[in-house]
Amino acid sequence: MERIEHRVCFGGWQNVYSHRSHAVDGAMRLAVYLPPQADTQKVPVLYWLSGLTCTEQNFITKAGAQRYAAEHGMAIVACDTSPRGGNVADDSTYDLGQGAGFYVDATVAPWSRHYRMYDYVAHELPALIEKNFPVTNRRAISGHSMGGHGALTIALKNPGRYCSVSAFAPIVAPSRVPWGERALSAYLGRDRELWRAYDATELVQTANEKIPLLIDQGDADEFLQTQLRPELLVTAAEAVGHPVRLRMRHGYDHSYYFIASFIGEHIAYHAKELRNAR
């Protein structure tokens, strides 16, 4: 791992690294915030997954999360949203290709060579972090929009791996909205049965672990009715008795102003669950 940024922040350190990823067969960038408590002890980790067009920079520069992570003694890891580079398949639109990995393992060429973001986040990244940093194996996961989709599906697909999960304005049913239909058909092919493995509304129906789902959603979000549709997840979860809490936030949109307003509550929620984990 090569450290390319190193800044003191609320008594801890905000670092950015580049490393070679086996999962995506190329270089990846990731941000790691270590709170001041990490100087003397191992700390739990919150993994953050960002949305379409984002890199590791959006969250660390706009969300204001470091203050709360320092208060609660929590590391935060924020990865990029896709593989990058001149040899990596791409598309001219913002919602497919580089910056739009959708946290799936692609099976269709040309995407299948590099676009294995599910494997990267669920397996390679925690192993890398726990090997190289003073952290425990107590993990939480959260994300925004496409990253909210990633956080929910990865938590639901990996029982026992995460102590808690939350999301801001997640794409809960990618099989039934334009963003998801375009990405999943490109990365996985036209067989919609294969899409079910990356759709939170489908996964919640057969989840082996009923990990509570915490979701914040702005009611002024321009994508609420067309791309996000959180009510679909609430209906699916309630049908099988899976705990879900949807908090509609009046006047808030899809931006990082929304995330910054409530990230402190999310970090406090994860800190509590991480402390109570056995």
Q: Which of 50, 82, 142, 145 is catalytic?
A: 145
Look up 39 and say whether it is catalytic. no
Residues 90, 19: Cα–Cα separation, whole Å: 21
Q: How many angstroms separate the CA atoms of 124 and 22, rounded?
A: 8
Distance CA 2, CA 4 (A): 6
**CA-to-CA dists, residue 214 to 230, 247, 263, 265, angstroms:** 11, 8, 12, 11
Say if residues 180 and 220 touch (Cβ distance below 8 Å). no
In 3D space, the residue among 169, 150, 262 whose CA is nearest the CA of residue 215 turns out to be: 169
Tell me if 211 sits within 8 A of 165, measured CB to CB: yes
**How would you classify residue 258: left for phi > 0, otherwise alpha for psi between -120 and 50, otherwise beta?**
alpha
Which of 80, 95, 199, 221 is an active site residue? 221
219 is annotated as an active-site residue: no
Q: Which entry of 149, 254, 266, 270 is annotated as an active-site residue?
A: 254
Q: Is residue 145 flagged as an active site residue?
A: yes
Q: Are 64 and 71 in contact (CB under 8 A)?
A: no
Active site residues: 145, 221, 254
